[in-house]
Structure 1
């Protein structure tokens, strides 16, 4: 398909979407199809309308809430200054909105993005405000791959319209990410290509009379001494705003600081008349523990602070998708004044994910969608173990990787049948940080792809009786049966479409040593949908957008938060093929990602709650600092082998469960005897009530709950955490003298008195007598609403539905209305491992929110941490590390 046809499709889609945007009610599919036909006739277009209709359907269904902000209630800041200033002409902002609509953004999304960036601008200082000195510091929390770049580009356009003159974007630590950000800023704000070989107007600049901002960086060159010296410019030489896109490293930041100080600062060493905005994308990115001097977080953050300090009028806005950013979490990585300067003391803004976003909630938390997307990898360790050396010999690839590749080829065929042949479709393979191993993996996949290609060529038109004799065709049929039988096509239709998959299929190795570039735009210009299989490591994981990502296969042991959520390249928008996406991960990773996704979701709820309670960003920062999961990030840096270290911990609003349980029969017998004894006694004489899924004892003395937990035999690997739970319960005893006890018991079973019916659980991860439960979760979602009164449930549902982005009530909402601790007791029926016999006893304790200042001291040792996180990847050994 050539360029002009794509342009024509784009025009029809835009016309259709604009037409539908004016309808008061959300249109039905029939109405959309009718309108599409009418517009196609007007354009004289006779091509396939399916993609255009799919895009329009998604468009009318896509909205994004306004998000929620937490500001310091005591600060004297008027966030309505934007509305009050009548002199602002929104030239850059309107051009950006038009550009997004032409790119196919749904009009409602463009409008909501515009509203949100308007609100964030209100949290910045008015650049025309009186007073010689001011600074503002804030943080915007988004979702991985959900349009953070689009958001801060919109904020840049608004800030430029309002009068900010000097704008710096710090785009991560990799060259390829900086280049990608520069290209985006060129199109969406500067309006000119910054490629020295190809200086032409693009994007927003195509409108006549567009006031192009100036830039001192280009797609090939970061800011350096030469750029600055060559230019000889001063900031005030420009009537238009200036924007720089730079990497977060010491050399670049030092060069910029030097240029600003020498050329632009006045006698007192400050730049007094230029309002500046600094956007720090991936505010958590420099938290990697590395010995590379240029990436040392202490020094990079100190340089950012010094640059801000040169300007009498400055705003710093960090953008992150991981709320556990090092700005909060890693107080040791830089001294107090740096922390003070970059801490988001003035505002925190949580962005809502759009309704069509394919994110952690769908992939890990929602049981139903998670089951269709996530596939555990159980056969990689013997071939490419978690920890291997750069010269590790690759004798063969795991069968699950070949199956994933078969699935990818079938998924591409289905996308072609859906009319998506001109759209990109990618598979990502990330099993090693070492370049030689990545190359070996690529060789094996290439060989396999060649054999599949030949098999398809020979068989795709053959009757099934003949084609099924071929082993590779059988593999593809198996992938279809296992994964895509209900995707809307028969195997015969898919088989016929297989040949077209190989026309533009290419394999890439993407790393800092590789000269291969995954260049989607080159194919776009030719109107071709690229089918890419990309093998790589860190470069592949961090920040780089992989278009049309459909299948991901990742077997890595990193569990540090920042690399972790960044590896969520499989999040984003999947219009018309969300149902085909698959993510293959080790069971360890599945558990860990689910744990983090839940923690991140809870932090956003926390922002909303703290806003209601009139608290400030500083208190949120302290809360995050003592959050149980912060221990897992900071601690590894502080400890030597086996050493124990004390931490402050806060379990407010959290549920802690015994997700590591003992499989020894005598331990479990003792625990069930304990449960029976307490049950008979009514946990201190309380009356039981039926919940429909077991029984509840209300208002049990917390001392009784404490006694139960002390007597409960936890596995030695969970003993420390059990002690922490008991200590926190004791600390809360003054405010909460009673709690509820819930014995979870589904209705099936033989109904023996004082015995719980079992809940079925698959044994995936067992070492010796320790069974680690899937996704580190014991309870099922929604269990915490059991035993609540109807008015409490209604109150939780009302809170969840409030605001611009209503969600279904989750356990965090039910936890809030219960207003007291809850002990949950479970009996688990294991299956999938002959060595584990049930029943097995487990518990969970959920603590009410609101105790932001309540902390306990806990002791952690390195052994516990490493078991929780695995051994962290070390970027200093990272072959594929593009610094």
Structure 2
């Protein structure tokens, strides 16, 4: 019975390739299949459809609520099973790696149009992580689309030959070689697109093969392809095409040549689906949705982060977002090493005028980075596992002559090291470096065995002998080539190494390049990815400012992905919501040209929790804040309706304090300029608008939270609590007059003014309780912080605060707005004002010019 049912179900799925579900069911009935079996088949199909829609990962935002036509691979498929087989041979585990790839690629294909539709023009976006396997994902998507009848596959593979060649090789290996009779190729390993004579030989009815074309985003190449497709128009009416745009934020958006050419190519294909892939989707999310452009109007998909992936947050940590428990927000791994600002002019010209004749200096930090790379390579040879290649990246400038200037001093450093292998002082320095790094990052925490210095030192002469110094840039013929045996290389480069291209076995990075935008900075992070067999060994040398920028980026990424996931549950579409992108005082979100259609998004303080984590450490600044805090406490004692005193817990709460006392405090308290979310003028303006327009925030609860074990801090008026300890994030080059403690408030503190013990409650439960008990009251929490604040023994990434005076931290908790809320401008987003939606099916009807 089971076999008969399965056979009939496979027949039904085969019918779905040609007919919609209702028509397929009717055909089953015409075959004489019994009603109860037909009903079971319908039930199973509905369950499969729901499974696709409700996959936990990836999360997606979709245009409309259309039923998916694709429910997963079938027994007759050939392309996807070949990829599965290839991945198993490469050592991929079925669970979770292959299963996750199967689920996420199925989700993407399910959002494409059925290839039998008469015409379609789909636009979607897939958001991955840097170096996380996006190529493997879109290869799987192509395979599954091919198995269902998509004919033409165009892959836009970045702007450099290296990435295009790498992508072509991957697709040939995983798609073409397992099924050579099923594929025709318009491009080759060393050959970008050149027009073929006879389009009919590729697209005519007699040719059943799939057509693969991997091209650079280069105007000359794309123009040739567009013209050739125009000539082939007689054969394209029944040619469902899938266009994959790898690194979709690069060159595609707001360019005068590339963008129109991509649109022209799509215009010549009556049935086309455009899917952009990127880890830095900022520009794509800011395209004008009302224009005939590539805004992802049909769907946005978040790919899950693969197990074992090193991403921004894993390495740099991030700041707490609203709803986070700070105790659960990790600081990241202790793998970042500080490059002093004084070193930067030694490795990068200060101005354009300094480029000519520039000679880099091998500073102590650069020497340590290079020597550590040699030690890592030797240690990996001792282990004998994982990727056979070993690469170091040095990226200080975009200028090719600067890259080339590193060649001689790096070779001299290598040759000197090779001659010093019998020098006791040199060996002692290497031993000290290795032991210090092993102590800071423990191998056992990553499931690895510690390699002792005496084990690896025997491998060092061979490492130095095989180490090459490679200038990989547009002016050099030298290139990283991982196809001809194991590589040990120090690669100095710029843009050719900054996007898409995988640096195999990358273990050490020295990065001080100045950039101005989120997407550029994130894509520079070639150190993101997988480090199987040496997850404990990677290190990154960079300035403290750059490390803070990456930490901010990790926060932006997390918040952006939460937006996508949240809107998925709220019946939104890419045309009814715009993903918000948190701004930064020193960085643009993307290039100015790509933001010309963006708007400043309104983001309310309503229901939010705001806290200070940046502080100056000089005495004058801190004394001013102490004075403001003591003034507020004195006023609260005099004007509050009720006081809860719990000095044994380090807690005081003054209830029903008039809002003007809070406003006066915020006017006197000085927030650090690096905290745009802590803008006193915006907060004060928000409070006053809520008071005047909605009648809320007229009364506040002012709390003091201290540590009962700390030394007393006196606020005056008989109020004193123990000082809190908040260590700063560690830097080797301690910046004068600045400290970042990263997080201040705990989940419990956000409910310090509520009745009963809230510590067992979740963040959501505390928020709901606040809304029930205190729907119109704000909460302001003062934290006296010990000026020394030694970190605990388990806080490896922390250093003593060492401020000149005690620090006053401030947390603010705002109630949910009951009416239309006043807003605060903190984000940018796409402008949806010119998009008109037909309410019934959410389809894009037209665009109105402003």
Please classify the TM superposition score into its range, dividing by the shorter chain length. 0.7 to 0.9
Matched, 1:93 2:80: yes
Query: Is this contact kept in 2: 1:426–1:548, CA < 8 A?
Result: yes
Q: Distance in 1 between matches of 2:819 and 2:436?
A: 48
Aligned-residue offset at 1:157 = 0.4
Matches within 5 A, 1:221-260: 221-223=191-193, 226-229=194-197, 233=201, 235-236=203-204, 238-260=207-229
> Aligned equivalents of 2:240 and 2:604: distance in 1?
41
Say if 2:686 and 2:824, in contact at 8 Å, map to a contact too: no
Superposed displacement of residue 282, structure 1? 1.5
Please report how far the alpha carbon of residue 153 of structure 1 lies from its aligned counterpart in structure 2 after TM superposition. Answer: 0.5
Equivalence for 1:760: 727
Residues 232 and 590 (structure 1 numbering): CA distance in 2 closer, same or farther, change over 3 Å? same
Q: Distance in 2 between matches of 1:817 and 1:580?
A: 46
Residues 446, 709 of structure 1: alpha-carbon distance in 2 compared, 3 angstrom cutoff: same
Q: Which residue of 2 aligns with 1:874?
A: none
1:780-799 to 2 correspondences below 5 Å? 787=752, 796=762
**What aligned pairs does 1:44-63 form with structure 2 within 5 A after superposition?**
none
Match of 1:194 in 2: none
> How many Å apart are 1:774 and its aligned residue?
3.9
**Residues 665-713 of structure 1: per-residue CA shift (max 9 Å, x gap):** 3443232122223334169446457696866668877766544323323
Do the aligned partners of residues 650 and 241 (structure 1) sit closer, same or farther apart at CA in structure 2, a change above 3 Å counting?
same
**CA 372–97 in structure 1, closer or farther in 2 if over 3 Å, else same:** same
Structure with the higher helix share, 1 or 2: 1
Deviates more, 1:424-433 or 1:305-314: 305-314
Q: 1:84 to 1:154 in 2, by over 3 A?
A: closer
CA contact (8 A) 1:709 1:722 kept: yes
> Does the C-alpha gap of structure 1 residues 234 and 829 become closer, same or farther in structure 2, counting only changes over 3 Å?
same
User: Where do 1:552-571 residues align within 5 Å?
Assistant: 552-571=509-528
Q: Which residue of 2 aligns with 1:124?
A: 112
Corresponding position: 1:337 with 2:291: yes
Give the whole-Å Cα distance in 1 for the aligned partners of 2:599 and 2:200: 53
Kept after mapping to 2: 8 A contact 1:764/1:773: no
Out of 228, 231, 235, the residue aligned to residue 262 of structure 1 is 231
What is the count of residue pairs matched by the alignment?
A: 718
Q: What is residue 676 of structure 1 aligned with on the other side?
A: 630
Aligned to 2:337: 375
1:628 aligns to what?
583
How big is the shift at 1:784? 6.7
Provide the residue aligned with 1:213 in structure 2. 183
Establish whether residue 494 from structure 1 lines up as the match of residue 494 from structure 2: no
Deviates more, 1:777-786 or 1:499-508: 777-786
Check if 1:313 corresponds to 2:271. yes
1:839 is aligned, of 803, 806, 809, to 806
Deviation at 1:422, TM superposition (A): 7.1
Quote the residue 1:506 is aligned against: 468
Structure 1 portions without partners, runs of 5+: 1-64, 192-203, 289-295, 460-466, 524-528, 800-812, 861-883
Q: CA deviation at 1:264?
A: 1.7
Q: 1:606 to 1:647 in 2, by over 3 A?
A: closer
Contact 2:602–2:824 (8 Å) recurs in 1: yes
Please state whether the residue corresponding to 2:129 is helix, strand or coil: coil
Alpha-carbon distance in structure 1 between the residues aligned to 2:124 and 2:757: 38
- Match among 532, 557, 566 for residue 575 of structure 1: 532
User: For each residue in 1:740-764, what CA deviation from the matched residue of structure 2 results, as whole angstroms up to 9, or x when unmatched?
Assistant: 7665544553213336545333686
Provide closer, same or farther for how the CA distance between residues 793 and 835 of structure 1 changes in structure 2, counting only shifts above 3 A: closer
Matched, 1:478 2:432: yes
What is the RMSD computed on CA atoms of the aligned residues?
4.1
The answer to whether the 8 Å contact 1:815/1:847 transfers is no
What SS class does the counterpart of residue 534 from structure 1 fall into?
Answer: strand
2-structure distance, mates of 1:630, 1:815 = 30
**Whole-Å Cα distance in 1 between the matches of residues 572 and 656 of structure 2?**
30
**Alignment match, 1:454:** 419
Alpha-carbon distance, 1:104 to partner: 1.5
Q: SS state of the match for residue 606, structure 1?
A: helix
Query: Is the 1:433–1:537 contact (alpha carbons within 8 Å) kept by the matching residues of 2?
Result: yes
CA offset digits 1:247-298 (Å, max 9, x no partner): 22333333222221222257xxxx432211111112211278xxxxxxx624
Q: CA deviation at 1:442?
A: 2.6
Q: How does 1:56-95 map to 2 (within 5 A)?
A: 66-72=56-62, 75-79=64-68, 81-83=69-71, 89-95=76-82
Distance 1:445 1:686, change over 3 A: farther
C-alpha distance 97-744 of structure 1, shift in aligned 2 (>3 A): farther
1:404 deviates by 1.0
Q: Residues 769-848 of structure 1 correspond to what in structure 2 (within 5 A)?
A: 771-774=737-740, 777=742, 779=744, 787=752, 796=762, 823=780, 825-827=782-784, 837-843=804-810, 845=812
Q: Which has the larger radius of gyration?
A: 2
Distance 2:384 2:145 in 1: 41
The secondary structure found in structure 2 opposite 1:372 is: coil
> Deviations along 1:476-520, whole A, 9 cap, x unmatched?
112112102555233322323333423532221111111112111
Cα distance in 2 for residues equivalent to 1:668 and 1:84: 61
How far did 1:302 drift?
A: 2.8
Any unmatched runs of 5+ in structure 2? 1-54, 319-328, 444-449, 789-798, 828-850
Shift of 1:578: 0.7
Report the counterpart of residue 712 of structure 2 in structure 1.
751
Q: Structure 1 residues 743 and 242, CA, compared in 2 at 3 Å: closer, same or farther?
A: farther
With over 3 angstroms needed to count, the CA separation of the structure-2 counterparts of 1:849 and 1:408, relative to structure 1, is farther
> Could you say which residue in structure 2 is the equivalent of 1:868?
none
Q: Residues 413-452 of structure 1: matches in 2 within 5 Å? A: 413-420=378-385, 423-452=388-417
Task: Give yes or no for the alignment of 1:713 onto 2:666.
Answer: no
Following TM superposition, by how much is the alpha carbon of 1:647 offset from its aligned partner in structure 2, in angstroms?
3.9
- Indicate whether 1:346 and 2:298 are aligned: yes
- 8 Å contact from structure 2 (residues 629, 808) kept in 1: no
Equivalent position of 1:595 in the other structure: 552
Match of 2:116, SS state, is: coil
2:163 is the counterpart of 1:177: yes
Q: What's the CA shift string for 1:83-138, capped at 9, x where partnerless?
A: 3998x832111111111111221112112211221121111111124xx3323222
2:324 equivalent to 1:363: no
Query: Relative to 1, partners in 2 of residues 1:646 and 1:582: Cα closer, same or farther, differing over 3 Å?
Result: same
Task: Please state whether the residue corresponding to 2:71 is helix, strand or coil.
Answer: helix
- The residue aligned with 1:410 is 375
Cα gap change, 1:66/1:145 in structure 2, threshold over 3 Å: closer, same or farther? farther
Partners in 1 of 2:58 and 2:725 — Cα distance? Answer: 41
Determine if contact 1:124/1:136 at 8 Å carries over to the other structure.
Answer: yes
**SS in structure 1 of the partner of residue 209 of structure 2:** coil
Measure the CA separation in 2 of the matches of 1:735 and 1:298.
Answer: 51
The counterpart of 2:237, out of the listed 272, 290, 296, is 272
- Displacement after TM superposition at 1:646 (Å): 9.1
Cα 1:103–1:592 change in 2 (3 A) is same
Moved more, 141-150 or 531-540: 531-540
User: 2:238 aligns to what SS in structure 1?
Assistant: coil
**Distance between the aligned counterparts of 1:639 and 1:212, measured in 2?**
40
User: Are the aligned partners of 2:397 and 2:403 in contact in 1 as well (CA < 8 Å)?
Assistant: yes
Give, in whole Å, the separation in 1 of the partners of 2:585 and 2:121: 28
Question: Structure 1 residues 84 and 507 mapped into 2: Cα distance closer, same or farther (>3 Å)?
Answer: closer
CA distance in 2, matches of 1:713, 1:509: 48
What is the rounded CA distance, in whole Å, between the counterparts of 1:630 and 1:262 in structure 2? 50
How far apart are residue 579 of structure 1 and its match?
Answer: 0.6
Q: In 2, are the aligned partners of 1:696 and 1:742 still within 8 Å (CA)?
A: yes
- SS of match in other structure, 1:342: coil
